[in-house]
Every structure is written in C-alpha cells, then in structure tokens.
Amino acid sequence: MDKPVEGGTGRISPTAYATGYFWYKQGMSHPALATAQGRRLHYAFRPFIAGTRIFGGLSMDALLLARHRGIDGVLSRAIEEGRVGQVVEVAAGLSPRGWDFMRRYERRLTYLETDLPAMAATKRQLLEGAGLLSARHRVVELDVLAADGPRALEAVMETLDPKVGTAIITEGLMNYFAPEVARDVWRRFARALARFPQGIYLSDLYLDNRNNGAVVGAFGKLMQAFVRGRMHTHFNCEAQANQRLRDCGFREAIVHQARGIPAVRDIAHISGADRVSVLEARA
C-alpha cells in the first residue's frame, strides 16, 4: 500500500482507493480509476460491510450509492439551471465525478479535481494515462486545512473565472474533522464562494436525528480504526445545520433528503440510503 506522504489528515487517503474501486464495481467509473490497491481494500472491507447489514440492518453500499448519486443529482440540476459552470471537488480521491460530468457537460463546465499531493499525483497519472484530462478538466493539489500558500483553497479558487457560478464539493470528508476544524473549513468555503455570481457548496450529510449513531457505531468504528482517528457527525437536525452554516457565512442551507432527489429515489427506502442527506449551502 502507498504510504501517504502528508502528515495530518493524509492518513485518510487510502480510504479513497477503496471507494474508488467501489464506484468502478458499481459501473459508475472508468477502468483507469480501478486500482489494484482499491481492489484489495474493497475485498478486505467486504466482511465488515456484510456484518453491518446482517447485524445492524444497514446497507453501507446503499449509503455510499445514495451519497454519491445524491450529490450528482443536486449538482446536475445546478448546472442545467445555469447556476454553476465551474466545479472544485475537494478531496476527490479516485471519484469518477469529474470524468463523468465532463463527458456529460463538456464545454459547459470547468472541473478541478483536488486532493492532497500524493493522491492528486496518483489521480493525475491515472487520468492522464487514459487521455482523460484537458485544459478544462485538471487535477490540482489542495489541502483544505491550509490557511495559505499554494495548496490553500484561496490559491486554487483564484485560478477560476470570477464571472462564472461555482460549486465546491466534498464527499466522504467532513466527518473525519472535529467540529471546530469543520467550522473553519466551512468558513473558508463560504468566503471563497461569495466572490462568484452564484456559489454553492454540496456535501454528504448525516443528521443525528436520523439515527446515525448506528452508522458511526458500525461502519464508523471500522473507518476510525483504519484511519486511526475519530469520526464526527456535526448536526442534530436540519434546522441546526442551517443555522451553523449561516454562522459560517453562508446565506442559506438546504438539506435534501435522499428520497427527495430523483436520482436516488429508487434506493432511498433501503436502510442505509435513508441515513444520508445532501447539503446544499448557498453563499
């Protein structure tokens, strides 16, 4: 297994190989993003995922699918309504979203996939090797915890067109951060997005009042052991999510439940998928 070179949250990076392989297995990704390391981790996690279903009644597969398709659905709508023409995916890992959205929207979109240096280098190499990058679709280094310097969010956002509506996305990232760290990151996102005519932030979200103790309890314990760190849920309910994000500088926050997103409706009833929401915060 590649050792992440970064200190701090670089320990989270190997999980991206496993999810990268999961997206591929589900027929949602390009073969270039299915790595041998991802395959190994995917199969190593399978018994735990099966256990979560048998003993906890939760389908982690449905949860992952709901979070990914849910973000895709809300992002597609924002692009089709003309609100977004640039996307910065933070902590993109080996997610297929950049490839998928560029083939769907082509010239209507600029897409920056970003991650810590080691993961960004891996992804760039994989996509470049398959001839899948272009001037409008790039992979760049970004450390979401950096307050300044070339890897800070601000430096990356400066490379974008200030006249075009912009989205920042995180998927599978924020629950690794303690509440005060998450708040700093959201403040940074709100500040960065406020400079564009429209600015939205999209993320997967797990509310405590949706019985997510079980999610953090079962799968979370496995992830906590794997990344040697704690996982956190950040909000009890929709109203609290809305208030906290406004405190961080967003104008408003909408919490989309899985069953309300057309792209997720077919699986939204499955235990696991029903625990995920998609946060859309507007700057």
Task: Give residues in contact with ligand SAM (CB under 6 A).
Answer: 9, 12-13, 15-16, 19-20, 90-93, 95, 115-116, 119, 142-145, 171-173
- The CB-of-225 to ligand SAM minimum distance in angstroms stands at 14
- Distance (Å, rounded) from C-alpha 123 to C-alpha 104? 20
For ligand SAM, which residue has the nearest CB? 93
Bridge partners, 199 (sequence order) = 166
Contacts of range 40-45, beta carbons closer than 8 Å, 24 or more positions apart = 40/1, 41/14, 41/15, 41/17, 42/18, 45/18, 45/222
What's the Cα-to-Cα distance from 77 to each of 17, 85, 200, 262, 280, rounded to whole Å? 28, 12, 12, 11, 12
Rounded least distance, CB 16 to ligand SAM, Å? 3
In whole angstroms, the minimum distance from the beta carbon of 243 to ligand SAM comes to 25
Residue 13 or 242 having the CB closest to ligand SAM:
13
Q: Which is nearer to ligand SAM, 88 or 242 (CB)?
A: 88
Q: Which is nearer to ligand SAM, 121 or 254 (CB)?
A: 121
The nearest distance, CB 84 to ligand SAM, in angstroms, is: 18
| Smallest gap from residue 82 Cβ to ligand SAM (A) | 26
- Of 23 and 250, nearer to ligand SAM (C-beta) is 23
In the complex, what is the shortest distance from the CB of residue 4 to ligand SAM, in angstroms, rounded to a whole number? Answer: 7
Q: Which token pair is 147? A: 């307050």
Are 42 and 36 within 8 A, CB to CB?
A: no
Structure tokens at 244: 């906290």
Please report where in the chains the tokens 């906890």 appear, as a residue. 56
Q: Which is nearer to ligand SAM, 215 or 242 (CB)?
A: 215
Distance CA 120, CA 116 (A): 6
Choice between 119 and 281, CB closer to ligand SAM: 119
Tokens 């109203």 sit on residue: 239
Q: Which residues pair with 228 in a beta bridge?
A: none
